[in-house]
Amino acid sequence: MSERRYTLTISCPDRSGIIAAVSGFIAQHKGWIVEASYHTDLETQRFFMRQEILADSLPFDLIEFHAQFTDLAAEFKMDWHISDSAQKKRIIILVSKQDHCLNDLLHRWRSGELLVDIPCVVSNHADLRGFVEWHGIPFHHVDMTDKADAFENIEHLFRLYHGDAMVLARFMQILPPDLCRRHAGQIINIHHSFLPSFVGAKPYHQAYQRGVKLIGATCHYVTDELDAGPIIEQDTVRIDHGDSVDDMVRYGRDIEKTVLARGLRYHVEDRVLVCSNKTIVFK
């Protein structure tokens, strides 16, 4: 993205005139909309909108945008957010011993494909310290012997580094419910199965025992219910009777890293809006 943009996202009760009102507000201030997406969820009767606006086309900054837009938002009972592409999201990555998802994210970050800041990486093992620090990123080892203390430390680091999102890149630990609730919509996990099938530990072993013909990976928001949060992105690969559990794990690693990267990119570009326990993803 070469030009600085503001991204406006809106969720509100569906009714006529929403698009006209928002587009009219932007046009009134000479704003230039370069991308627009809309969706109505018929079950909940909620309307969802995402617009990208050239920042330089507006005569004011985001502070003044908030002041000017407040009355319109109140009229339509909007839950809304606007972000600036010049302000990169700050991503705190949590990882265990497996490094394939971490390695992929750091490669995309270094190459400029993933436009985020990564102020630190946190792990319950010290194995990946050298790899992370080689990238110039601080590494924090958190001992999980006392889990309550460990998760308090993790949340402290998230706040200390002013994190916008916490990414569980095969962290392999269950987060406490209160942490999930405090940071709803900010914690992203990659689960190595095509949810809702095979939740919990060792999903490839579960899939092998069931003789499935497809395995997959799921990127989702973390909630206080294990592996049941709103799904952001998924993908699958076909297998057959000749594939062992080890084969499935090997195939799965490729899917896990690509699904996590796509889901995270949708999140940092403000393309994901949550509707109950589902998501609307404007790709």
pLDDT at 1: 53
Q: Across residues 257-278, what is the average pLDDT?
A: 97
pLDDT at 226: 87
48 with 127, same domain: the answer is no
Q: How many domains does the chain have?
A: 2
Q: Across residues 210-235, what is the average pLDDT?
A: 94
188 with 64, same domain: the answer is no
Which amino acid, residue 147?
A: K
53 with 176, same domain: the answer is no
| pTM of the complete model beyond 0.85 | yes
28 with 158, same domain: the answer is no
Q: Which residue, of 68, 84, 100, is where some domain finishes?
A: 84
The CA distance from 27 to 25, in Å, is 6
110 with 248, same domain: the answer is yes
28 with 111, same domain: the answer is no
242 with 226, same domain: the answer is yes
Active site residues: 227
Q: Which residue, of 37, 60, 84, is where some domain finishes?
A: 84
43 with 26, same domain: the answer is yes
| Domain coverage including residue 150 | 89-281
51 with 158, same domain: the answer is no
Q: Across residues 222-231, what is the average pLDDT?
A: 93
CATH number of the domain encompassing residue 51? 3.30.70.260
Q: Is the pLDDT of residue 90 over 60?
A: yes
The CA distance from 198 to 22, in Å, is 43
Q: Across residues 159-187, what is the average pLDDT?
A: 97
Q: Which residue, of 67, 84, 101, is where some domain finishes?
A: 84
Rounded to the nearest 10 degrees, the angle between the axes of helix 203-210 and helix 245-268 is: 130
96 with 208, same domain: the answer is yes
Burial class, 18, CB count within 10 angstroms (exposed 0-12 / middle 13-18 / buried 19+): buried
For residue 71 the two structure tokens come to 């009355």
pLDDT of 3-12, one tens digit each? Answer: 999 999 999 9
pLDDT above 90 as % of the chain: 92
CA nearest to 166, candidates 125, 99, 111, 221: 221
Quote the mean pLDDT of the chain.
95
117 with 38, same domain: the answer is no
94 with 30, same domain: the answer is no
